[in-house]
Structure formats: C-alpha cells, structure tokens
Amino acid sequence: MTASSTAASGMNAWRVEDLGMDDSEVFRIGPNVVRQHGVCVRHSAMGPCGARSVFSLIWMTACVVAWGGMMIASVSQAVADEPGESDLQQFYRDYLEKTFAMQPLLATSLGDHRFDAQLEDISAEARSRWLSHDRDTLAALDQRFGKAAADGSLSVDDALDYQILRDDLRRSIWLTENFQPFEDDPRVYGGYLSDSVYSLVAKSTLPMETNVTNAIARMKQLPRVVEEAKKTLTHPPASVLATAIGQNRGAIAFYRNDLFLLVGETKQEAELKAAAEEVVALLEEYQTFLEKELQPRATGEWRIGAERFAKKFELVVDMGITAEELLAEAEQEFDRVQMEMAVIARQLWAERFPGKPIPPDDQAGRRQLIAEVTAAVGRDHGEPETLVRDARQTVAAICDFIRERDLLALPDPDRCEIIEMPAFRRGNSLAYLDPVLPLDPAGASYYAISPPPVTWGADKVRSFLEEYNRHMLQILTIHEAYPGHYVQLEYANRVPSLVRKVIGSGTYIEGWAVYTERMMLDQGYGDGNLALRLNQLKFYLRAVANAILDHRMHCSGWSDDEALTFLVRDAYQTEGEARLKVVRAKQSSVQLSTYFSGRTAMMRLRTEIQREQGDAFHLGRYHEAVLSAGSVPVKLLPEIVRLRITSESPQP
C-alpha cells in the first residue's frame, strides 16, 4: 500500500482486532520497560506515565532488556551487607530493604525472593507512602552525602553512584507527581495480574516446588488487584485501553495453558489447577469490566504536551541537550541516512532489476529507488515456523566474528537462550532481550523472537517476514544479543556497585545496541554484503525516525495519518510495522527518543577517544572500557572511559 492510500484508509481508527490478536496471540508491549521509559531504572523504572512501581519493571522490557546481575551466596539474603561496603552503598541497601517491604513484586522482579509469596498494597494510600519514601530518601541522601559530594571527598565510585542515585530519585518523584498511571492506564494492573506469577515460574532460580507454592499464594491475592483497578481507573486513552484488553486476554490464556507448560510436572498440580481456575474466572469477569464499563469512558488524552515532554526528556534522556535540539539533529540525520541508503540501493539496482531503468536522480526518484530495492531484498526471508530457528542460526557466525576481530571479550559462560516469545508478551516488536535478574544472576537471559500472529492473513504474514528478512534478522541479533543488549548487560552484571546493578540508563543501553549495528558491519561482518548494509541502514533510519515520531506526536499534534505517511513513505517501513509504531508512540513518551540520542552519544565519544589516541587506539579495549562501569548516564561516560581506557578491562 502506498503512503497516499495508507493515509486515505483512515488508519487512526485502529482496533485491537486490526492487530490480529486473539486469546493466544495478544498485543503486548510489556517486556519493554527500558524502551518504554528511556531510563532503565531497574528498581525505579517508570511506568508508562511515570510511577515508580513493579509495573515499571514488568513493562520491560523489551525493553527490555535491562537488568544486570549480582553474584551472591544466597538469593534469600539478596540485599544483605557486603564486606567492606561504603556508607553510600549501605544507604542504598537500606533504601531497597524498605522499598521491598512495601513492594514485594518489585523485589521479585529484581531477583530478591524473600517476598515471593506476597503482593503489595496498591491503594492510593499505599502509593502515597511510596512517594514519601522517595522524598525522604532524597533528603537523607543530600544530608548525609551532599557535602562530601560537593567538596570532592567521596571516592570516585561513590561520587558516581551519588549522582546516579540522586538523579534517579529526582526523576522518580517528578514523574510520580506529574502522571497518574493507576488512574489512567489499565496496563498497570496487568503487570500484577500476570507477570507476578510468570516471573516466579519463568525467571526464579529457586526450586520449582517453592516457586509454585509462592505462585499459588500470589494468585489468591489477585482479587484485590482487580478490585483496586475497578475502583481507581477513570478515563484511560482509548488506545491504551485497547492494549490492556488484549493483554488481559493473554493473561487468561496464560493461566489456562502456559502456566502449566512452564511448571511441568509438580506434586502441587491439583492445587495449582484449582487456583488457576479461580484466576481465569476472575480475569474473565475483569475482561467484561474493561470492555463494557471502562471502554465507554475511555476518553483520556495520550499526548503529554510539549512542556511535560521537554521536562521528561531532560530527566530521562539525561545527556545535556534539550528535546528541541535532539529533534533538529534527528531531522538532519534522517536526510543524511536516506542519501546513504540511496547510494547502496543504486549499487543493487541492476542486480535486482536487470534491464530496468533506474529511477530518476531526484527526491521522488531516490525514494522510489530505496523503496523498490528494500522490498526486493526483503523477499529473501524464511517461514513463520522457522523464524526462531533462523534467528538462532545467526548467532554462531556473529560471535565467531566478534572473537576473531577482538571487538570485545564475550561472556563466558554464555547464558543467553533464544526462545519463541510467550504469546501474552507479543505485540509491537519482533524481539526483546529479557535479561537475568540483578539479585538472582544464576538464571538465563532470553532473546525472545515473536512469529507473526496465527490470525493474520497471507498478505500480512508476507509483509511481516519481508520486514524481518534474513538480512534484518542478523541486525536484530546484533542489537538484541551479540554484542548488543545481552553482552552489555552481562558486563553490567560484574559491576561491584549495587546502585549501578539496579539503576541504569536506557539511553546508554539503547545507544550501545544501535551503535553496535553499524560497528559490526564497518569492521567487516557480512563481507561487504550490500543487502545486509541496506538493512542495517534501514534499521538505523528507524531509530532516527523514532525520535522524530516521538516528539512530533506528543508536541506537534501529528495525527495518526501524518505519522503513518512519514513511516511508510519516508522511513520505508511496512504498513504493519508502521501501525504498531504509531500505537507505541501513543502509549509511551520520550522512550522512543533514547535510541537515536544514545547512539549519537556513543558515536561522538568513539570519535573523540579515537582521535585522542591515534594509532594507539584499540577498538576492543575501547569497547570494554565503555562497558566496564555499567549502564551509566551517557553524559558521565566520557570521563569514565578516559579514566579506564588505559587500565585492564574486566572480562565478563
């Protein structure tokens, strides 16, 4: 479909069924907390509208993508004192201890399993106490450590952690004060209703019988979550409610089927089945509430407006530039990448279209050239049933290349498993990295791939597979796993600082992943394959487009049709991919800007360090220096890298 016919079709009136969802194939953007909010703040990741809660963790991711790990003797003592720990680290442990007591699911999501049988009180009164705890902690932090931070008497590591923790608390307080996700966003409650149990049986390294016992205990507490949702939800945006409706269908399917597949054989089968049946009945009744009672009043505004966007951008992206400055830079980069794509497409034209005249060398002709060549290249794809296998097959060659070129030391042992994405977590992206929990690091990370929904027709499936063709799958593996998210987060696992194990910058995390896509090809991966390079540029153009879309939809009033025209005509995305991206832009803010902003920071730092070092520059040692301190705010990265570049890099 062309951009003009796309616009004429009135895509802004999208429906859940347009996305091909049913009970087993649901629209789910839940794993993408990092991608959703830009600040991979593991314990303090903000929900779609800002509140610090377990939902923020579950929302990830993908997204997604983002927790480091910590080697501890016993997960039951996950936040116990560490010998020789600084006063600042102990201060943070005390903060986490109090936080976990108020938010048990948050503890589980970080890998502290002492609270696995409990669920938090999510009433307005309880949530007010969460905010007070953050305010009190910020005041205490400044009182105890502010003077030492100001006069430079803190150690280098503590000075870094002081700034990260202080910024995180300020960000959390502002977001909680300025957004009301428990009132406006029914997806919040979905995290408690499904992921509270899924996280136990899929992620915990405790014995399965223990996890089942805890899961049953939590399942018995879910009625009060539904009761709170019915009492608290007011006027959610229609697009957000549509997603929540699909997620709840997926939760019903989880309790009917997937739960038992994850648990396997258990002596508690009868008790688990009885508990699950009660939850299914509860969620079916909740489904009726969502569709019949809440939907008629789903009139809320999803745009956050220019003022709040600018402030949230400042706090979340946290790289020392304004939202307007990033937009201007993104629009300039968008034009540059299009020209680079045209150069590659021109070289592929005769191979893909022998004897056919190349389009004219003007703006419209270059757009046609890129669109036709990318479409032709996209026809080299696998089948829906082989998608996960095809992704798995990309790993060996990519890892061999990284080792042979000494681009960095890969994690050993490798604990990344490539799986088919759980049905209730499918939605607006093909893949996500679900990393090991920071306080339970003995588990695995999961690079999850989603096949197209079984309800889709042949044309939609073909479009999906053409978007994620054999070339694009390699770029996706580079981004999500090697040397992207999985490798970076395994390095973060080894950071001694508890603050940096739990709090991380989504701008850094996404920036690193996007940086590695071009870096790998620049160093020779793919042996100069032009189709692979074209897909890499298309994937990067998507990151640049994300930043433009994010700003324009929230601050400039772009309609769905305007956004879709931009994505399909100018960014060469398929209609299905563009639809999902528009939905995502309406259900998040600022997070879509982290890909381009982070990659820009990474590229500039690489250029600076390489220029400074000249012939002494070693790419592998540079990468290890970048990764060595954890997922720190990119504004702090230059000083850290310069301090570490000459020291021995840690081996993951």
Report the C-alpha gap between 576 and 574 in whole angstroms: 5
Q: Return mean pLDDT, the chain.
A: 87
Closest CA to 379 of 451, 476, 472, 452: 472
Least confident residue range of 61-65, 124-128, 256-260, 606-610: 61-65
pLDDT at 74 over 60: no
C-beta separation of 61 from 31 below 8 A: yes
The pLDDT of residue 425 is 67
Farthest CA pair distance, the chain: 75
Residue identified by tokens 């895509």 is 11
Ramachandran category for residue 527: left, alpha or beta (phi over 0 → left; psi -120 to 50 → alpha): left
How many Cα atoms sit within 13 Å of 464 on the Cβ side?
Answer: 25
Residue identified by tokens 């093909």 is 430
% of the chain residues with pLDDT over 90: 77
The amino acid sitting at 609 is: I
Contacts of 124 (CB under 8 A, 6+ apart): 182, 232
H, E, C per residue of 594-622: HHHHHHHHHHHHHHHHHHHHHHHCCHHHH
Q: Tell me the pLDDT tens digit for each residue of 516-575.
A: 999 999 999 999 999 999 999 999 999 999 999 999 999 999 999 999 999 999 999 988
Q: What is the CA radius of gyration of the chain?
A: 24
C-alpha dihedral (102, 107, 109, 112), degrees to nearest 10: -170
The pLDDT of residue 33 is 29
Please provide residue 221's backbone torsions phi and psi, each rounded to the nearest 5 degrees.
-95, -5
The pLDDT of residue 545 is 98
110-125 burial code (b ≥16 CB/10 A, e <16): bbbbbbbbbbbebeee
| pTM to 2 decimal places | 0.87
Please provide residue 184's backbone torsions phi and psi, each rounded to the nearest 5 degrees.
-105, -10
Ramachandran category for residue 590: left, alpha or beta (phi over 0 → left; psi -120 to 50 → alpha): left
- Tokens coding 575: 């209609």
Closest CA to 243 of 179, 310, 295: 295
Residues for the chain: how many in total?
Answer: 652
Q: Which residues pair with 52 in a beta bridge?
A: 46
Residue 426: pLDDT band (50, 70, 90) is low
**Strands of 416-420's sheet in order across:** 416-420, 445-449, 431-434
Distances (CA, A) of 572 to 2, 474, 559: 10, 19, 19
pLDDT at 375 over 60: yes
Which ranges of 114-155 does DSSP label H, i.e. alpha helix?
Answer: 124-151
- What is the bridge-based pairing of β-strands 431-434 and 416-420? unpaired
- Sequence ranges of the domains in the chain: 18-304
Classify residue 76 as exposed, middle or buried by CB count within 10 Å of its CB (0-12, 13-18, 19+): exposed
The DSSP element (H or E) to which 416 belongs, if any, is strand 416-420
The pLDDT of residue 383 is 93
Q: What is the mean pLDDT of residues 603-613?
A: 97
Q: Cα dihedral sign for 5, 9, 13, 19?
A: negative
pLDDT at 12 over 60: no
H, E, C per residue of 545-591: HHHHHHHHHHHCCCCHHHHHHHHHHHCCCCHHHHHHHHHHHHCCCCH
